[in-house]
Amino acid sequence: MVKIVTDSTADIPEKLAAELGITIVPCNVHFGLETYRDGIELSKAEFYTRLKTSSTLPTTSAPAAGLFEATYRELASETDQILSIHLASAFSAIYNSAYLGAEAVSDVEIALIDSGQASMGLGWLVIAAARAAQAGRSLAQIVALVEDMMPRVRLFAALDTLEYLRKGGRVGKTVAVLGTLLDIKPLIEVRDSAVLPLERVRTRRRSIQRLIELAAELGPLEELAVLHSNAPQKARRLAEEISFLHPLERIQIAEVGVIIGTHAGPNALGVACVVACCPYRNSGD
């Protein structure tokens, strides 16, 4: 059976990852001189606690190529084919580390995919690959399935504050203070290896309404996840509100990890969808 590998930025719920046999390689989180492996030595709850109290933003780094090499060698004892799917290479060196690790392993066939996505935008691709692997699909078939799905993955997020973007130097202090005073909530989209600003709305309630509207505009959905940064109760409410688009029992609720969480800050909400019909494909193709 083909083995599926990803990195910890995929934000796949732990139980689901375990059920599907997905191997997750942890990224590194740095608070000053202290380094932690994401999800192993530092939980998401611990990360957000430290994020709230830190005067400067933490930094993140890709797993070393040697860790990917060791992971692939370990899996080679169980399979002769591996598919490794990762965070958009435009956002991080993770894909390059995976590539270098794969180059050092010759006794197993390894295919790598740059997802062009983040969080559960990446996660849905990995989940689909793992389900296909469990169904006995070949490596070539799974790669084709993932590549077909990639243009249909959409991720929208509503930030609760501009403060963490200010700390990261992405907006000025005046803009951040003004945004707080006016209760401005920025909306972004992650697509095609880019973070795209969509709009800025007033009030938390309106930002949530816009997330629902943006998802509804996509048409029928194959998959839907609600994302949050240290806001599980708000995420559950959003899942209930958006369940007219997708059965509630099939909506995954996922907490975003260190890369998005560092810049979004706590209390951000988002949706990651797989569109049933590709919005970029001409019906005559």
pLDDT in tens, 202-220: 888 999 999 999 999 999 9
- Say how far apart CA 66 and CA 87 lie, in whole Å: 18
More confident residue, 31 or 216: 216
Amino acid in position 165? L
Q: Which of 19-33, 151-165, 184-198, 210-224 has the lowest mean pLDDT?
A: 151-165
Q: H-helix or E-strand containing 180?
A: helix 173-181
**Model confidence, pTM:** 0.90
**19: CB partners within 8 A, 6+ apart:** none
CB 38 within 8 A of CB 27: yes
Q: Which of 98-102, 117-121, 252-256, 260-264 has the lowest mean pLDDT?
A: 260-264
Per-residue confidence (pLDDT) for residue 136, from 0 to 100: 97
Q: H-helix or E-strand containing 51?
A: helix 44-53
More confident residue, 127 or 281: 127
More confident residue, 161 or 131: 131
Per-residue confidence (pLDDT) for residue 164, from 0 to 100: 55
Q: Is 125 helix (H, G, I), strand (E, B) or coil?
A: helix
Per-residue confidence (pLDDT) for residue 238, from 0 to 100: 98
Residue 77 has pLDDT above 90, yes or no: yes
Using alpha carbons, select from 228, 248, 229 the residue that is nearest to residue 239.
248
Question: What is the pLDDT confidence band of residue 280, given thresholds at 50, 70 and 90?
Answer: very low
> What DSSP assignment string belongs to 229-246?
SS-HHHHHHHHHHTTTTS
Per-residue confidence (pLDDT) for residue 146, from 0 to 100: 98
Amino acid in position 143? V
Provide the pairing of β-strand 28-31 with 34-37: antiparallel
Mean pLDDT, range 264-276, rounded to an integer? 92
Using alpha carbons, select from 63, 79, 89 the residue that is nearest to residue 21.
79
- Say how far apart CA 156 and CA 108 lie, in whole Å: 37
Mean pLDDT, range 78-97, rounded to an integer? 96
Domains defined for the chain, CATH in brackets = 3-150 (3.40.50.10170), 152-275 (3.30.1180.10)
The overall average pLDDT reported for the chain is 88
Question: What is the pLDDT confidence band of residue 39, given thresholds at 50, 70 and 90?
Answer: confident
Q: Which of 29-38, 92-101, 175-184 has the lowest mean pLDDT?
A: 175-184
Per-residue confidence (pLDDT) for residue 53, from 0 to 100: 84
* Encoded tokens for 88: 């958009």
- Say how far apart CA 134 and CA 67 lie, in whole Å: 25
